[in-house]
């Protein structure tokens, strides 16, 4: 979880940097070292190319995706998100006591451009030199002029300094005690560069201008109109983080991979391809699958299988509170249609009875310590079997038990009543898909439109139980929940596969309706609705001690002479 939170914060900061700088207040930052000078040709540690919503709308392979994006609920959610981001530079990075006077209205149209227009972001890292971040946007003359007008005012508001005119009328430079900003124009591209070194930002723009003169593009020409392309050296970005006012990557993250990803459509679906290339060998043995065939019962709306977990988690000790002597090597989860919370998970174990004894007691202690005093049931152990149940809940019947599946032992976690499957077991085509792939590490299939309500129900139920407010964080009038409610029926099958493509390489392939699974959509909905968005992501996985702010729509005024 720490890794996800760290890098999510980093990518968010990179995005905001492109608009309004990426540092805290000047008083909180140390001035750059005087020994640092303009960088020479560096190593590219991040590249992100976005085709832009306008061009996406003209792509025949984006028909279904754009139909969903063009829903009224999508427009409302997009507007709400960009409105929040327009104030984020002052909320996150400025020392201003209040944002009431911040020129957020000047940021908002620039954010629209980042969504609508083609753009390319690049981070260059040079040994013993500060990193340089450059973003290029393909803009017409009118929108380019808006950036030239708005951006100096935004930066002046954050840093309290006026920009210095550049060599051309379309250029400007701003030098603070911490950062150098440079804005320029080349052909139909607007270029913005940021660095700690005073000469680095203008030098980066010169390199970009040369590329555009040579190829009409700020990046290598594309042979395929991928909607989104990313190439991120996560380890190197961690070391570059301090150059943009962010904490450096923890030492435990030094084996972070280089991540490459492309996203494109086929008319009905979104096709995602990615690779993770690690600096050292992963050492992931792939034992034969031990599928829980007798535990799974149709009708299924999801099934996920993972193996090689013990190798992936080898560098991390099993937490003492978990009570297990070793990490499980395989993990399975599935969902059934019907009543809510038909969610199940299982992992094979060498001795299920012993592992049940080790795991169930700390689990029971944790639940008891976090339960309200009444109306939320209690956990109880069965007297004659390995069974722990949480009784008295109105919306679920959680349990943990040890079971035997053919010749294997499993620990089974269920959120609904469970019965061993004698008929309608795990579908044969799904079994064949899993066991036929020699290097398969993980597979996850779901009917996203049916799986998403399960995650939403579980989200609300867990908040009602464990949050101090004892009610859901999200309510039906919120933009993200309205989007879920109206787009849900459009979300079809999602299939994600992860292969061990080499000793230090994982390859990912996904086919889905919008590029995200039901669980990911639910997490994103929660994050977008946080008042402090884009900050606060880590709070999504903790109990909330304070009641959430409930925002209700204001009813329109009745027309004159309307009946009461």
**DSSP character string of 290-314:** ---TTT--SSEEEEEEEE-HHHHTT
pLDDT digits (tens, 9 = 90+) for 61-73: 999 999 999 999 9
Average pLDDT of the residues in 335-349: 92
What is the reported pLDDT for 98? 65
Average pLDDT of the residues in 175-191: 86
pLDDT digits (tens, 9 = 90+) for 75-84: 999 999 999 9
Confidence band, pLDDT 50/70/90 cuts, at residue 553: very low
Task: Report domain extents, the chain.
Answer: 2-268, 279-503
pLDDT digits (tens, 9 = 90+) for 405-416: 666 899 999 999
Rounded Cα gap, residues 342 and 221, in angstroms = 48
Give per-residue burial for 432-461: e unless 16+ CB within 10 Å, then b.
ebbeeeeebbbbbbbbbbbbbbbbbbbbbb
Residue 164 has pLDDT above 60, yes or no: no
What is the reported pLDDT for 245? 63
Q: Which residue would you say has higher pLDDT here, 527 or 35?
A: 527
Q: Which residue would you say has higher pLDDT here, 477 or 165?
A: 477
Nearest Cα to Cα of residue 386 among 404, 373, 366, 406: 404
Q: Which residue would you say has higher pLDDT here, 31 or 522?
A: 522
Q: Which residues, 6 or more positions from 394, have their beta carbon under 8 angstroms from its beta carbon? A: none
Rounded Cα gap, residues 529 and 295, in angstroms = 37
What is the reported pLDDT for 12? 41
What is the reported pLDDT for 227? 97
Average pLDDT of the residues in 519-548: 87
Query: Dihedral (C-alpha) 33, 35, 41, 44: value to the nearest 10 degrees?
Result: -30
Rounded Cα gap, residues 26 and 362, in angstroms = 47
pLDDT digits (tens, 9 = 90+) for 93-150: 766 556 777 899 999 999 999 999 999 999 998 777 788 999 999 999 999 999 999 9
Average pLDDT of the residues in 330-346: 94
Tokens (6 digits) for 512: 């889905």
Q: What is the chain's mean pLDDT, rounded?
A: 83
**Bond into 323 cis (ω within 30):** no
> Mean pLDDT: which of 4-18, 238-252, 436-450 is highest?
436-450
Residue 479 has pLDDT above 80, yes or no: yes
pLDDT digits (tens, 9 = 90+) for 374-402: 778 889 999 888 999 998 888 889 999 99
Residue 323 has pLDDT above 70, yes or no: yes
CA angle (349, 353, 356) in 5-degree steps: 80
Of 301-310, 364-373, 432-441, the range with the lowest mean pLDDT is 364-373
pLDDT digits (tens, 9 = 90+) for 462-476: 998 888 888 899 999
What is the reported pLDDT for 61? 96
Residue 9 has pLDDT above 60, yes or no: no
What is the reported pLDDT for 538? 86
Tokens (6 digits) for 72: 């009224």
Average pLDDT of the residues in 454-468: 91
Burial class (CB in 10 A: 0-12, 13-18, 19+), 103: middle
What is the reported pLDDT for 294? 86
Residue 33 has pLDDT above 50, yes or no: no
What is the reported pLDDT for 35? 34
Rounded Cα gap, residues 276 and 259, in angstroms = 5
């Amino acid at each position: 979880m720490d890794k996800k939170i760290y890098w999510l914060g980093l990518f968010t900061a990179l995005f905001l940097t492109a608009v309004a700088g990426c540092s805290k207040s000047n008083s909180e930052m140390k001035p750059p070292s005087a020994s640092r000078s303009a960088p020479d040709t560096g190593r590219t540690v991040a590249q992100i190319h976005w085709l832009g919503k306008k061009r996406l709308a003209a792509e025949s392979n984006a028909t279904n995706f754009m139909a969903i994006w063009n829903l009224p609920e999508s427009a409302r959610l997009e507007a709400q998100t960009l409105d929040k981001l327009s104030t984020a530079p002052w909320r996150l990075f400025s020392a201003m006591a209040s944002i009431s006077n911040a020129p957020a209205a000047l940021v908002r149209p620039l954010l629209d451009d980042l969504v609508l227009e083609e753009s390319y972001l690049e981070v260059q890292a040079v040994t013993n030199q500060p990193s340089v971040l450059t973003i290029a946007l393909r803009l017409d003359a009118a929108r380019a002029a808006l950036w030239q007008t708005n951006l100096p005012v935004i930066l002046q508001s954050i840093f309290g300094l006026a920009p210095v005119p550049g060599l051309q009328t379309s250029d400007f430079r701003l030098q603070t005690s911490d950062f150098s900003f440079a804005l320029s124009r080349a052909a139909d591209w607007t270029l913005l560069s940021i660095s700690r070194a005073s000469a680095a930002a203008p030098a980066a723009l010169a390199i970009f201008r040369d590329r555009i003169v040579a190829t009409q593009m700020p990046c290598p020409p594309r042979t395929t109109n991928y909607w989104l392309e990313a190439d991120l050296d996560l380890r190197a970005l961690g070391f570059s983080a301090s150059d943009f006012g962010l904490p450096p990557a923890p030492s435990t993250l030094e084996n972070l991979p280089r991540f490459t990803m492309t996203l494109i459509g086929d008319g009905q679906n979104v096709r995602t391809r990615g690779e993770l290339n690690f600096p050292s060998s992963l050492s992931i043995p792939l034992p034969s699958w031990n599928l829980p065939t007798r535990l799974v019962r149709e009708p299924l709306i999801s099934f996920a299988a993972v193996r090689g977990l013990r190798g992936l988690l080898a560098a991390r000790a099993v937490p003492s509170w978990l009570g297990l002597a070793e990490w499980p090597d395989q993990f399975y989860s599935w969902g059934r249609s019907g009543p809510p919370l038909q969610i199940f998970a299982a992992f094979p174990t060498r001795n299920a009875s012993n592992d049940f004894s080790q795991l169930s007691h700390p689990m029971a202690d944790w639940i008891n310590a976090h339960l309200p005093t009444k109306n939320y049931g209690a956990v109880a152990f069965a007297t004659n079997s390995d069974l722990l149940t949480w009784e008295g809940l109105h919306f679920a019947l959680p349990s943990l038990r040890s079971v035997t599946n053919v010749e294997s032992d499993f620990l089974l976690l269920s959120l609904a009543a469970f019965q061993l499957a004698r008929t309608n077991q795990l579908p044969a085509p799904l079994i064949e898909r899993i066991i036929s792939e020699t290097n398969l590490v993980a597979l996850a299939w779901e009917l996203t439109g049916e799986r998403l309500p399960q995650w939403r129900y579980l989200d609300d139920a867990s908040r009602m139980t464990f949050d101090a407010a004892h009610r859901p964080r999200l309510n039906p009038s919120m933009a993200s929940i309205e989007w879920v409610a109206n787009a849900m029926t459009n979300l079809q099958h999602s299939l994600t596969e992860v292969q061990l493509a080499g000793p230090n390489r994982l390859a990912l392939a996904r086919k889905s309706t919008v590029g995200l699974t039901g669980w990911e959509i639910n997490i994103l909905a929660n994050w977008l609705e946080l008042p402090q968005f884009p900050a606060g992501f880590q709070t999504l996985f903790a109990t909330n001690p304070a009641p959430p702010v409930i925002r209700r729509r204001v009813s329109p005024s009745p027309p004159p002479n309307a009946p009461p």
